[in-house]
Structure 1
Amino acid sequence: MKKIGVLTSGGDAPGMNAAIRAVVRKAIYHGMEVYGVKHGYQGLIDGSIEKMELGSVGDIIQRGGTVLYSARCEEFKTEEGQQKGIDQLRKHGIEGLIVIGGDGSFRGAKKLTEKGYPCIGVPGTIDNDIPGTDYTIGFDTALNTITDAIDKIRDTATSHERTYVIEVMGRDAGDLALWSGLADGAESIIVPEMAEEFDEVIERLKRGHDRGKKHSIIIVAEGVTSAVDFSKRVKEATDLETRVTVLGHTQRGGSPSASDRVLASRLGAYAVDLILEGKAGCMVGIEKNKLVDHDIIEVLNRKHSIDLDMYRLSKELSI
């Protein structure tokens, strides 16, 4: 294989640039040409494809977002859209594609593989919701962003003796909520994977208030409910003064952490290794600090789960 492409798709995640850099430099090291596809699958359909050199990825390892940009593309879900993408790959002589993104991006990669264009998926999403890898690119940075924000909110919560309900991202996964809640000593952590009884949350708040606790932090994953709605219920049940913070897209931005830069570099380079080995339709990941690969469809058919031991620990420590 002499020519490969690389694209980023779906929601951006800190560390995507480090992964792009690793793909480009590892491929060039092995004598291949690399082409960057801008704006994800939409850019593939439109032919927004440029050859990348070593200098194309200089000074990007520390930058958040993605220099290739990202976009959602409904057209690529159709046979016609996929064929347009294939036509562009043929036009540029691209023989394989590395896709950095989440589960939706991987489904597109699988479709291309089935049509004769080998693809390798690299998990890049702050949600950490891709089975087959312990961590996804961007999760650690987003977690630290959330933790820093909660630390600041706690100062205000203490000063004004309030209960704060903080909504974090994660889509249908509770990893960001669970990890940040445990890291910041939240009284309650509401995640999609576990049915937290509202009465238990209220009892915990009242128990803390009765022993003289001046403030409380409740973390709500966006996949469960909105922080605004949950805060109203808490206010009605306790008459405690409550405030809401929705952290929003601040969680996606910022310079990637050292951990995400290293993870992205390892996964991006490993994806090139697999392309060179002739593998296709698979996803790279890391399990117990070892690089692994799995069939994309097999991975997507698995159900994401949180660490139940961590969840139990969070409840034990929030008595």
Structure 2
Amino acid sequence: MKRVFSILGIILLYATVSLAGVVYTSKVTTEITDPKVKEQMANSPYGDMSQPVTMKCYAENGKKFRVEIIEGGNTFTPKGTVVISSDGKMAYFLNPSKKTYWKMNLDELQKTGESAMKMMKKFAKMRYKDIYVNVVELGNGGKIAGYNTNKYKMLVKYAVEMKVLFKKIEHKHKEETEIYATKDFSISDFDVYSFNNTFSTGIPEVDAQVKLNVNKIGFPLKTVTYKYDENGKLQQITTFEILSLKKDSVSNSLFELPKGYTEEPSPFAKMMGGQGVNQGQSPDSENSPEEGKSKKKFNFKDLF
């Protein structure tokens, strides 16, 4: 489920621009370098989340946005999906071919994540240690989407120490990100969702240091993130790049829910117990009794 929300975060990435109006296209690609992780993602009940996704986006005044999935996609946002919001709080996921939609409260999503983290820290007696965040400038990054950029490299490391049922578990985290940023815009031109979806780890102690480091670099037009396992082995590489970006006036009608659409349950409601799918069951288990009987063993490390 963690990977699902990270993918949705990427789709909403840069969606809330506080400039007068902007239109842009962007692409995200994920390369899985660890065979075990690759197999897990290929067999995931949520579908293959590593497929490239290309989006056309419209945004205005920091709250209104529209994201159209024009290539690629996944189980939750297949090709043709349109994501809109008129206030930056409630997002609607439209299926134009079926004229249906499901919705997600972005504020509640963020609060749910924060509450879950607090509960985990209390239940598992978690603490974060050896936190290290550093950003270095590497010089000219060339032109991206027609804008001059500077290249930076950010290193984030920390360890998670947990005590569960008198047993201590420690998990080390390492992540490196190449950032190509332009001074033509500022990260402060974008609201909280931009930082959360671009750089946030979801851990306040770590995010405070990350934010101090990235607030001065300008607006990131491209990021390449390298994620490692606790033994230092590279697991995956995720690249997000804005392909074109221009200031432009955007019609309010693009951010409004079209007439004639019917609401349906969100895919998360279906997975967590709605529409006959029991919690802990895979989406297809209602059609496969044997699959429904099997339950994945809970592992605390899957949360990080």
Task: Classify the TM-score, shorter chain.
Answer: under 0.3
More strand by share: 2
> Which structure: larger Rg?
1
Higher relative contact order (CA 8 A, sep 6+): 1
More helix by share: 1
Task: Give the TM-score taking structure 1 as reference length.
Answer: 0.23
Task: Give the TM-score taking structure 2 as reference length.
Answer: 0.24
